[in-house]
Amino acid sequence: MDWICERVPDAKRSAKGGRPTTDKRRAIAGIFWMLDNGAKWKDLPACYGSKSA
């Protein structure tokens, strides 16, 4: 999974603020979990971060 994380750019922060950044590795792991289990985003376990991130 490291090779994917290295290729995903970091989120740009707006000067006006916005949402706090989320851990890229956790988010990607959550996407893989969702695809592997055929689950919906709302069913994402908390260990992969916020469902609204």
Can you tell me the mean pLDDT for 19-33? 86
Residue 13 has pLDDT above 80, yes or no: no
Alpha carbons 25 and 48: distance in angstroms, whole number:
9
pTM (two decimals) = 0.72
Distance spanning both ends of the chain, measured CA to CA = 20
> What is the reported pLDDT for 23?
85
Helices (H), 1-53: 2-7, 24-37
> What is the reported pLDDT for 34?
93
